[in-house]
Amino acid sequence: MDTPARGFLAELKDAVTPRAALLVIGVLLLQLGFITSYVGALHHPAPHELSIAVVAPPQVSPKLVGALESVPDDAVKASTATDPAEATARIRDQKIYAALVFDPAGTEDTLLVGGARGPAAVKAAQTIVTALDSAQGRTVKTQDVAPLAKGDASGLSSFYLVIGWCVGGYLVASILAISSGARPANSNRAVIRLGALAVYSIAAGIGGALIIGPILNALPGSLWGLIGLGSLVVFAVGTTTMALQCLFDVVGIGLAVLIFVVLGNPSAGGVYPPPMLPPFWRAIGAWMPNGAGTDTARSIAYFGATNIGVPLLVLFVWALLGLLVTMVTVLRRPGAGREVTA
Protein backbone atom coordinates (compact mmCIF):
# COMPACT_ATOMS: atom_id res chain seq x y z
CA MET A 1 0.00 0.00 0.00
CA ASP A 2 1.42 3.44 -0.97
CA THR A 3 2.25 5.88 1.76
CA PRO A 4 -0.02 8.94 1.54
CA ALA A 5 1.77 12.04 0.20
CA ARG A 6 2.77 14.49 2.88
CA GLY A 7 2.39 18.22 2.59
CA PHE A 8 5.37 20.49 1.91
CA LEU A 9 5.33 22.02 5.39
CA ALA A 10 5.34 18.59 6.99
CA GLU A 11 8.29 17.54 4.81
CA LEU A 12 10.11 20.78 5.63
CA LYS A 13 9.59 20.30 9.35
CA ASP A 14 10.87 16.73 9.12
CA ALA A 15 13.87 17.62 6.92
CA VAL A 16 15.08 20.70 8.79
CA THR A 17 15.69 19.77 12.39
CA PRO A 18 16.23 22.43 15.06
CA ARG A 19 19.87 21.29 15.36
CA ALA A 20 20.44 21.70 11.62
CA ALA A 21 18.79 25.12 11.65
CA LEU A 22 20.99 26.27 14.53
CA LEU A 23 24.12 25.03 12.76
CA VAL A 24 23.16 26.90 9.58
CA ILE A 25 22.53 30.07 11.59
CA GLY A 26 25.91 29.56 13.25
CA VAL A 27 27.61 29.29 9.84
CA LEU A 28 25.90 32.50 8.73
CA LEU A 29 27.12 34.33 11.83
CA LEU A 30 30.62 32.93 11.28
CA GLN A 31 30.58 34.15 7.68
CA LEU A 32 29.44 37.62 8.69
CA GLY A 33 32.08 37.64 11.43
CA PHE A 34 34.72 36.76 8.84
CA ILE A 35 33.73 39.74 6.69
CA THR A 36 33.55 42.08 9.67
CA SER A 37 36.90 41.01 11.09
CA TYR A 38 38.91 41.17 7.87
CA VAL A 39 37.40 44.41 6.60
CA GLY A 40 37.46 45.97 10.06
CA ALA A 41 41.13 45.17 10.56
CA LEU A 42 42.47 45.92 7.10
CA HIS A 43 40.29 48.51 5.36
CA HIS A 44 41.87 51.66 6.82
CA PRO A 45 45.41 51.15 8.20
CA ALA A 46 46.68 54.04 10.30
CA PRO A 47 49.80 54.19 12.49
CA HIS A 48 49.45 54.12 16.25
CA GLU A 49 52.55 54.58 18.43
CA LEU A 50 54.86 53.66 15.56
CA SER A 51 58.24 53.60 17.27
CA ILE A 52 60.71 56.04 15.69
CA ALA A 53 64.03 57.02 17.30
CA VAL A 54 65.80 60.32 16.73
CA VAL A 55 69.56 60.65 16.28
CA ALA A 56 70.47 64.32 16.52
CA PRO A 57 72.63 66.79 18.48
CA PRO A 58 71.30 67.67 21.97
CA GLN A 59 70.15 71.10 20.86
CA VAL A 60 68.01 69.63 18.04
CA SER A 61 66.86 66.28 19.42
CA PRO A 62 64.11 67.53 21.80
CA LYS A 63 62.52 69.57 19.03
CA LEU A 64 62.40 66.59 16.65
CA VAL A 65 61.08 64.25 19.34
CA GLY A 66 58.39 66.77 20.20
CA ALA A 67 57.43 67.18 16.55
CA LEU A 68 57.10 63.42 16.12
CA GLU A 69 55.10 63.05 19.32
CA SER A 70 52.75 65.82 18.16
CA VAL A 71 51.64 63.88 15.07
CA PRO A 72 47.86 63.47 15.48
CA ASP A 73 46.15 60.36 16.84
CA ASP A 74 49.24 59.19 18.78
CA ALA A 75 50.69 58.00 15.49
CA VAL A 76 54.30 58.03 16.73
CA LYS A 77 56.08 56.84 19.83
CA ALA A 78 59.34 58.80 19.67
CA SER A 79 62.60 58.15 21.50
CA THR A 80 66.27 59.06 21.12
CA ALA A 81 69.37 57.12 20.12
CA THR A 82 72.97 58.20 20.62
CA ASP A 83 74.19 57.41 17.11
CA PRO A 84 73.20 55.62 13.88
CA ALA A 85 74.86 52.39 15.03
CA GLU A 86 72.67 52.22 18.14
CA ALA A 87 69.57 53.05 16.11
CA THR A 88 70.41 50.34 13.59
CA ALA A 89 70.95 47.79 16.36
CA ARG A 90 67.57 48.64 17.90
CA ILE A 91 65.84 48.22 14.54
CA ARG A 92 67.51 44.85 14.02
CA ASP A 93 66.56 43.83 17.58
CA GLN A 94 62.93 44.74 16.75
CA LYS A 95 62.77 47.38 19.47
CA ILE A 96 61.90 50.22 17.08
CA TYR A 97 60.54 50.40 13.55
CA ALA A 98 62.59 53.33 12.24
CA ALA A 99 65.09 56.04 13.15
CA LEU A 100 65.52 59.61 11.89
CA VAL A 101 69.22 60.54 11.64
CA PHE A 102 69.59 64.33 11.54
CA ASP A 103 72.47 65.75 9.51
CA PRO A 104 73.75 68.93 11.25
CA ALA A 105 76.09 69.68 8.34
CA GLY A 106 73.43 69.64 5.61
CA THR A 107 69.74 69.64 4.83
CA GLU A 108 69.26 65.98 3.93
CA ASP A 109 68.49 63.61 6.78
CA THR A 110 68.41 59.79 6.73
CA LEU A 111 65.52 57.57 7.72
CA LEU A 112 66.70 54.14 8.84
CA VAL A 113 64.04 51.46 8.43
CA GLY A 114 63.69 47.70 8.74
CA GLY A 115 61.85 46.59 5.62
CA ALA A 116 61.58 43.04 6.95
CA ARG A 117 59.16 44.24 9.63
CA GLY A 118 56.65 45.17 6.96
CA PRO A 119 56.42 47.52 3.98
CA ALA A 120 53.37 49.22 5.50
CA ALA A 121 55.36 50.34 8.55
CA VAL A 122 58.17 51.61 6.30
CA LYS A 123 55.72 53.60 4.20
CA ALA A 124 54.06 55.09 7.29
CA ALA A 125 57.42 56.14 8.75
CA GLN A 126 58.45 57.66 5.42
CA THR A 127 55.22 59.63 5.16
CA ILE A 128 55.51 61.00 8.69
CA VAL A 129 59.21 61.90 8.53
CA THR A 130 58.98 63.36 5.03
CA ALA A 131 56.19 65.68 6.15
CA LEU A 132 58.19 66.68 9.23
CA ASP A 133 61.37 67.46 7.27
CA SER A 134 59.48 69.20 4.49
CA ALA A 135 57.93 71.59 7.01
CA GLN A 136 61.45 72.53 8.07
CA GLY A 137 62.78 72.93 4.55
CA ARG A 138 64.73 69.67 4.70
CA THR A 139 64.71 66.43 2.71
CA VAL A 140 65.08 62.83 3.76
CA LYS A 141 66.49 59.68 2.16
CA THR A 142 65.63 56.16 3.26
CA GLN A 143 68.14 53.45 4.17
CA ASP A 144 66.90 49.91 4.77
CA VAL A 145 69.05 48.23 7.43
CA ALA A 146 66.99 45.00 7.53
CA PRO A 147 65.76 44.46 3.97
CA LEU A 148 63.44 41.76 2.77
CA ALA A 149 64.85 38.78 0.90
CA LYS A 150 64.64 38.79 -2.89
CA GLY A 151 62.08 35.98 -2.82
CA ASP A 152 59.92 37.78 -0.25
CA ALA A 153 59.26 41.03 -2.08
CA SER A 154 55.97 41.83 -0.33
CA GLY A 155 57.09 40.62 3.11
CA LEU A 156 54.16 38.21 3.41
CA SER A 157 55.96 34.86 3.14
CA SER A 158 56.30 34.35 6.90
CA PHE A 159 52.63 35.23 7.37
CA TYR A 160 51.37 32.84 4.68
CA LEU A 161 53.68 30.10 5.97
CA VAL A 162 52.19 30.32 9.45
CA ILE A 163 48.63 30.60 8.13
CA GLY A 164 49.23 27.40 6.15
CA TRP A 165 50.43 25.67 9.29
CA CYS A 166 47.37 26.90 11.22
CA VAL A 167 45.03 25.64 8.50
CA GLY A 168 46.65 22.22 8.65
CA GLY A 169 46.34 22.14 12.42
CA TYR A 170 42.61 22.70 12.65
CA LEU A 171 41.80 20.69 9.51
CA VAL A 172 43.60 17.54 10.65
CA ALA A 173 41.95 17.74 14.08
CA SER A 174 38.57 18.20 12.38
CA ILE A 175 39.15 15.23 10.06
CA LEU A 176 40.10 13.01 13.00
CA ALA A 177 36.87 14.05 14.71
CA ILE A 178 34.72 13.43 11.65
CA SER A 179 36.24 9.99 11.10
CA SER A 180 36.10 8.75 14.67
CA GLY A 181 33.94 11.01 16.80
CA ALA A 182 34.44 14.51 18.17
CA ARG A 183 35.61 13.16 21.52
CA PRO A 184 37.99 10.18 21.78
CA ALA A 185 36.20 7.18 23.31
CA ASN A 186 38.71 6.74 26.13
CA SER A 187 42.10 7.93 27.35
CA ASN A 188 44.00 5.45 25.20
CA ARG A 189 42.23 6.69 22.09
CA ALA A 190 42.96 10.28 23.16
CA VAL A 191 46.68 9.51 23.49
CA ILE A 192 46.68 7.79 20.09
CA ARG A 193 44.91 10.74 18.48
CA LEU A 194 47.29 13.23 20.07
CA GLY A 195 50.22 11.08 18.96
CA ALA A 196 48.91 11.10 15.39
CA LEU A 197 48.58 14.87 15.62
CA ALA A 198 52.17 15.17 16.86
CA VAL A 199 53.49 13.09 13.95
CA TYR A 200 51.44 15.16 11.51
CA SER A 201 52.73 18.38 13.10
CA ILE A 202 56.35 17.36 12.60
CA ALA A 203 55.69 16.38 8.98
CA ALA A 204 53.91 19.68 8.36
CA GLY A 205 56.73 21.63 10.00
CA ILE A 206 59.33 19.91 7.82
CA GLY A 207 57.28 20.30 4.65
CA GLY A 208 56.49 23.97 5.19
CA ALA A 209 60.07 24.88 6.07
CA LEU A 210 61.44 23.07 3.01
CA ILE A 211 58.95 24.75 0.68
CA ILE A 212 59.49 28.27 2.03
CA GLY A 213 63.28 27.85 2.20
CA PRO A 214 65.29 25.57 -0.11
CA ILE A 215 62.50 24.96 -2.65
CA LEU A 216 61.11 28.47 -3.24
CA ASN A 217 63.86 30.56 -1.59
CA ALA A 218 61.16 32.81 -0.15
CA LEU A 219 62.60 33.10 3.36
CA PRO A 220 66.15 33.04 4.68
CA GLY A 221 67.05 31.94 8.21
CA SER A 222 67.47 28.69 10.08
CA LEU A 223 65.76 25.72 8.43
CA TRP A 224 65.72 23.82 11.74
CA GLY A 225 64.30 26.85 13.51
CA LEU A 226 61.41 27.03 11.04
CA ILE A 227 60.83 23.27 11.29
CA GLY A 228 60.55 23.52 15.06
CA LEU A 229 58.28 26.53 14.83
CA GLY A 230 56.00 24.88 12.27
CA SER A 231 55.66 21.72 14.35
CA LEU A 232 54.72 23.78 17.39
CA VAL A 233 52.20 25.97 15.52
CA VAL A 234 50.41 22.97 13.98
CA PHE A 235 50.33 21.07 17.28
CA ALA A 236 49.08 24.12 19.21
CA VAL A 237 46.26 24.78 16.77
CA GLY A 238 45.45 21.08 16.44
CA THR A 239 45.23 20.39 20.17
CA THR A 240 43.12 23.50 20.71
CA THR A 241 40.72 22.41 17.97
CA MET A 242 40.60 18.92 19.47
CA ALA A 243 39.82 20.37 22.89
CA LEU A 244 37.02 22.53 21.48
CA GLN A 245 35.51 19.46 19.79
CA CYS A 246 35.68 17.51 23.04
CA LEU A 247 33.83 20.31 24.80
CA PHE A 248 31.32 21.36 22.11
CA ASP A 249 31.15 18.47 19.61
CA VAL A 250 30.85 19.61 15.97
CA VAL A 251 30.33 23.21 17.08
CA GLY A 252 33.95 23.10 18.23
CA ILE A 253 35.07 23.12 14.60
CA GLY A 254 33.20 26.37 14.07
CA LEU A 255 34.76 27.83 17.20
CA ALA A 256 38.20 26.86 15.91
CA VAL A 257 37.48 28.68 12.65
CA LEU A 258 36.31 31.69 14.65
CA ILE A 259 39.52 31.78 16.69
CA PHE A 260 42.12 30.94 14.08
CA VAL A 261 40.57 32.28 10.87
CA VAL A 262 38.11 35.03 11.76
CA LEU A 263 40.15 36.55 14.60
CA GLY A 264 43.65 35.14 14.22
CA ASN A 265 44.48 35.86 10.58
CA PRO A 266 43.73 39.59 10.30
CA SER A 267 45.38 40.31 13.68
CA ALA A 268 48.55 38.32 12.95
CA GLY A 269 50.58 41.28 11.70
CA GLY A 270 51.11 39.85 8.25
CA VAL A 271 49.44 42.32 5.92
CA TYR A 272 49.87 45.20 8.39
CA PRO A 273 52.15 45.16 11.46
CA PRO A 274 50.56 45.77 14.87
CA PRO A 275 51.07 49.58 14.94
CA MET A 276 48.97 49.81 11.75
CA LEU A 277 46.01 47.79 13.06
CA PRO A 278 42.87 49.05 14.86
CA PRO A 279 42.87 48.70 18.68
CA PHE A 280 40.98 45.39 18.98
CA TRP A 281 43.10 43.47 16.49
CA ARG A 282 46.29 45.12 17.74
CA ALA A 283 45.46 43.99 21.28
CA ILE A 284 44.78 40.32 20.50
CA GLY A 285 47.30 39.65 17.72
CA ALA A 286 50.36 38.78 19.78
CA TRP A 287 48.39 36.34 21.95
CA MET A 288 47.01 34.26 19.08
CA PRO A 289 48.95 31.36 17.51
CA ASN A 290 48.76 33.13 14.14
CA GLY A 291 50.39 36.30 15.43
CA ALA A 292 52.90 34.57 17.68
CA GLY A 293 53.89 32.25 14.84
CA THR A 294 54.24 35.09 12.32
CA ASP A 295 56.40 37.13 14.71
CA THR A 296 58.64 34.14 15.36
CA ALA A 297 58.96 33.17 11.70
CA ARG A 298 59.87 36.73 10.73
CA SER A 299 62.41 36.92 13.54
CA ILE A 300 64.02 33.61 12.57
CA ALA A 301 64.22 34.69 8.94
CA TYR A 302 65.48 38.25 9.33
CA PHE A 303 66.42 39.20 12.86
CA GLY A 304 68.57 36.37 14.20
CA ALA A 305 65.70 34.94 16.27
CA THR A 306 65.60 37.94 18.61
CA ASN A 307 62.58 38.58 20.83
CA ILE A 308 60.98 35.17 20.29
CA GLY A 309 60.67 34.19 23.95
CA VAL A 310 57.15 35.55 24.48
CA PRO A 311 55.74 34.34 21.11
CA LEU A 312 57.09 30.83 21.73
CA LEU A 313 55.63 30.86 25.24
CA VAL A 314 52.25 31.83 23.77
CA LEU A 315 52.39 28.86 21.39
CA PHE A 316 53.43 26.46 24.18
CA VAL A 317 50.53 27.65 26.36
CA TRP A 318 47.99 27.09 23.56
CA ALA A 319 49.41 23.61 22.93
CA LEU A 320 49.46 22.69 26.61
CA LEU A 321 45.95 23.96 27.31
CA GLY A 322 44.58 22.10 24.30
CA LEU A 323 46.27 18.88 25.38
CA LEU A 324 45.14 19.18 29.01
CA VAL A 325 41.53 20.06 28.16
CA THR A 326 41.35 17.13 25.74
CA MET A 327 42.64 14.63 28.28
CA VAL A 328 40.59 15.96 31.20
CA THR A 329 37.40 15.96 29.12
CA VAL A 330 37.94 12.37 28.00
CA LEU A 331 38.76 11.18 31.53
CA ARG A 332 35.70 12.88 33.03
CA ARG A 333 33.28 11.81 30.27
CA PRO A 334 34.57 8.61 28.68
CA GLY A 335 32.65 6.59 26.13
CA ALA A 336 31.31 9.51 24.08
CA GLY A 337 33.43 8.82 21.01
CA ARG A 338 33.11 6.02 18.49
CA GLU A 339 35.34 3.00 18.91
CA VAL A 340 36.57 3.05 15.33
CA THR A 341 40.05 4.50 14.94
CA ALA A 342 42.23 6.98 16.74
Check: CB of residue 60 under 8 Å from CB of residue 132.
no
The mean per-residue pLDDT over the stretch 204-222 comes to: 97
pLDDT in the model for residue 2: 55
Residue 116 has pLDDT above 90, yes or no: yes
Q: What is the DSSP letter of 290?
A: H
- Got the DSSP string for 66-82? HHHHTSGGG-EEEEE-S
Q: Where are the domains of the chain?
A: 50-144, 157-332
**Longest alpha-carbon distance in the chain:** 104
pLDDT at 179: 75
- Is residue 2 exposed (0-12), middle (13-18) or buried (19+ Cβ within 10 Å)? exposed
pLDDT tens digits, one per residue of 130-140: 999 999 999 99
Please compute the mean of the pLDDT values over residues 315-342 and round it to a whole number: 78
Over residues 323-329, the mean pLDDT reads: 94
Phi/psi for 82 (5° steps) reads -75, -35
Does residue 18 carry a pLDDT above 90? no
- The string of pLDDT tens digits covering residues 270-311 is 999 999 999 999 999 999 999 999 999 999 999 999 999 999
Task: Determine the pLDDT at residue 339.
Answer: 40
Arithmetic mean of pLDDT over the chain: 92
pLDDT tens for residues 146-165? 999 999 989 999 999 999 99
Burial class (CB in 10 A: 0-12, 13-18, 19+), 28: exposed
Is 0.85 topped by the overall pTM? Answer: yes
**Which pLDDT band holds residue 341 (cuts at 50, 70, 90)?**
very low
Average pLDDT estimate for 97-114: 97
Q: Is the dihedral of CA 208, 212, 216, 221 positive or negative?
A: negative
